[in-house]
Amino acid sequence: MKLALVLPLVAAATLSSAPVLAYDADWKRGRIYYRAICSSCHTTTPNGVIQPNGRTKGEWMAYLKADKHDKGKEPVAKYFSKEYLSSIKATNKAADRFFSVPTDQLLQDVQLFLQRSAKDGEAPASCN
Nearest to 77 by CA among 105, 45, 35: 105
pLDDT higher at 82 or 10: 82
Mean pLDDT of 56-68: 94
pLDDT, tens digit, 9 for 90 and up, residues 11-55: 444 444 445 568 999 999 999 999 999 988 877 766 677 889 999
State the pTM of this model.
Answer: 0.77
Extents of the domains making up the chain = 26-117
- Which residue type sits at 57? K
